[in-house]
Amino acid sequence: MSNVNTMRAVGQDVLGGPEVLKVIELPRPRPRPNEVLVRVRAAGLNPTDWKHRENGGFLGEPPFVLGWDVSGTVEETGIGVAAFAPGDEVFGMVSYPFGHGTHAEYAVVPARALVPKPAGIDHVQAGALPLVSLTAWQALVENADLRPGQRVLIHAAAGGVGHVAVQIAKARGAYVIGTASAAKHDFLRGIGVDEPVDYRSADVTATVRDVDVVLDTVGGDTSVTSLATLRPGGILVSILPVGSAELYEEADRLGVRAVRMLVDADRAGMRAVADLVEEGKLRATVAGTFPLAEAAKAHEVGGTGRTTGKLVLVVD
């Protein structure tokens, strides 16, 4: 058990497979001005976690502690934090990508990245939501300006970002077409997809037409080929931030728009997410929970790419 000056965290000293993750002891951080020390109760896992574990991504070489989602209790506030006090239950996403470090017993979080946790959900549910919900909100609402009655195509609609994006799109009154393997179509209908498409048996770009918005969570060829599904003036938003210039060239040729984005921490977005949760319009599907000691197992499961919904680390 950690003492008052230390904490347990899931760290790594080298890049590699899930086996490089170890539970380590670190100094407990102290919040600086405008920061909050959160006692972490739950923290979601996202594909960005296994990608960074394996190739360093934006973070370069370890040692580091991963994790961007957080739900927990305010332990201590830094100078100037007026919005929260010790004991408050909060959730949010630390600054992406360089704010990482929530896969630990404690995390320092900018106060403006947090909002009060809705009372009607537990920490596991709250810990599952922030990164995927902000990604979907920023893609569909801020970048695509999704409106009632518009048609949206969501790729990998049963995945972490996808299943949340479906619910956000429905809450905004859109008609949702979602891709997933046939086995997941009942799940898709259950979360509000109007038209499930089996990407394995159908050529999505040949069968889907006249959509206003495409949310690309897959990248690669999918970005470019999906442009053909858009009506003139439509927009494709890819959450994969890097790729070839071909995407923009093809978009110009077809008279549509394409943007690539990275999620970023945002209080207004988190408030919108919390409102949807409180209205009963947004809920994460949690495919599995793991204690810190089983973080490697969680990464192994997540790395298969077959998870429906989210995986969450639970800190006792």
pLDDT at 144: 98
**Mean residue pLDDT across the chain:** 97
pLDDT at 117: 98
**177 plus 111 within the same structural domain:** no
Query: Is the residue at 268 inside a domain?
Result: no
pLDDT at 1: 52
The span from the CA of 167 to the CA of 159, in Å, is 12
Q: Does the pLDDT value for residue 223 go beyond 80?
A: yes
pLDDT at 225: 96
Query: Is the residue at 225 inside a domain?
Result: yes
**117 plus 221 within the same structural domain:** no
**10 plus 118 within the same structural domain:** yes
Query: Is the residue at 190 inside a domain?
Result: yes
pLDDT at 279: 98
Query: Is the residue at 274 inside a domain?
Result: no
Q: Which domain, by its residues, includes 220?
A: 132-260
Query: Is the residue at 44 inside a domain?
Result: yes
Q: Does the pLDDT value for residue 172 go beyond 90?
A: yes
pLDDT band at 3 (very low <50, low <70, confident <90, very high): confident
Mean pLDDT of 268-293: 98
**154 plus 232 within the same structural domain:** yes
**67 plus 56 within the same structural domain:** yes
**60 plus 154 within the same structural domain:** no
pLDDT at 316: 83
**136 plus 255 within the same structural domain:** yes
Do residues 30 and 13 lie in contact, with contact meaning Cβ atoms separated by under 8 Å?
no
pLDDT tens profile 289-303: 999 999 999 999 999
Beta-ladder partners of 115? 91
Identify the CATH number of the domain in which residue 139 sits: 3.40.50.720
**80 plus 124 within the same structural domain:** yes
Q: What's the Cα-to-Cα distance from 102 to each of 11, 125, 152, 182, 270, rounded to whole Å? A: 11, 16, 33, 35, 17
Single-letter residue type at 59: L
pLDDT at 37: 98
Q: How far is C-alpha 125 from the geometric centre of its chain's CA atoms?
A: 13
pLDDT tens profile 126-167: 999 999 999 999 999 999 999 999 999 999 999 999 999 999
Secondary structure in 3-state letters for 12-51 = ECCCCCHHHCEEEEEECCCCCCCEEEEEEEEEEECHHHHH
Q: Does the pLDDT value for residue 206 go beyond 70?
A: yes
pLDDT band at 205 (very low <50, low <70, confident <90, very high): confident
Beta-ladder partners of 286? 310
**100 plus 149 within the same structural domain:** no
Classified as helix, coil or strand, 232 is: strand
pLDDT tens profile 43-70: 999 999 999 999 999 999 999 999 999 9
Q: What's the Cα-to-Cα distance from 21 to each of 11, 49, 106, 294, rounded to whole Å? A: 6, 11, 18, 9
**98 plus 149 within the same structural domain:** no
Q: Does the pLDDT value for residue 119 go beyond 80?
A: yes
Mean pLDDT of 17-36: 98
Query: Is the residue at 251 inside a domain?
Result: yes
Domain count, the chain: 2
pLDDT at 236: 98
Query: Tokens representing 195?
Result: 């038209």
**122 plus 138 within the same structural domain:** no
Query: Is the residue at 265 inside a domain?
Result: no
Mean pLDDT of 86-92: 98
Q: Does the pLDDT value for residue 25 go beyond 90?
A: yes
Provide the percentage of residues in the chain whose pLDDT is more than 90.
Answer: 96
Query: Is the residue at 203 inside a domain?
Result: yes
pLDDT band at 2 (very low <50, low <70, confident <90, very high): low
Identify the CATH number of the domain in which residue 97 sits: 3.90.180.10
Provide the percentage of residues in the chain whose pLDDT is more than 70.
Answer: 99
**113 plus 149 within the same structural domain:** no
